[in-house]
Amino acid sequence: MNPKNIKINVGLEIEKGDAALRQAEILLKNNEYDGAVSRAYYAVFHYAQALLFLKGIEARSHHALNRLFSLHFVRSGAFEKRFATILSHAQKAREESDYSPEIPFSSEEAQLRIDEAKDFIDRAGRYLSSPDAA
C-alpha cells in the first residue's frame, strides 16, 4: 500500500464503521437484537481495520484482525487492553448472533455491545486524528 491508498482505505473503513453503528442503533430500536449485536461488531471491525491500514497492514481474517490489533496497538501501549477485549467480545457475540439461534440476545446485551462499539470508535477516532497516527 502506498500513502495515497492507505488514506483512501482508512477513510472507507471509517465510513463503513460509522454506517454499521447507525445500523446497529436502528436494529436495537426495532427490537432486532441479534442484528444489532452483529452490526455493532462490524462497527468495531471496520475501525480496527482502519487502524491497521494506517500502519500498512491488512488483516486477512477476523481472527487475524484481533491478533494484529493486539500486537500493534495494545502491546505498543497505544491502546489499553480493554479495547482488545471489546474487539474480542464483539466478535464472539457476532458469531453467536449470526450462527447460534439458540443464543438469543436481549436489549440490554445489544445495548452493551453498541456502547462498547461507541467506546472503541471514539478511542480509535482520537488515535486516527492524532499526531501519533502520522
Q: pTM of the entire structure?
A: 0.94
pLDDT in tens, 87-113: 999 999 999 999 998 888 999 999 999
End-to-end C-alpha distance for the chain, whole angstroms: 15
What's the CATH code of the domain at 105?
1.20.120.330
Using pLDDT thresholds of 50, 70 and 90, give the confidence band for residue 134. low
SS (H, E, C) 43-106: HHHHHHHHHHHHCCCCCCCHHHHHHHHHHHHHCCCCCCHHHHHHHHHHHHHHHHHHHCCCCCCC
Instruction: Please give the residue range of the domain that contains residue 41.
Output: 3-133
The number of domains in the chain is: 1
pLDDT in tens, 19-72: 999 999 999 999 999 999 999 999 999 999 999 999 999 999 999 999 999 999
- Rounded to whole angstroms, how far apart are CA atoms 112 and 42? 15
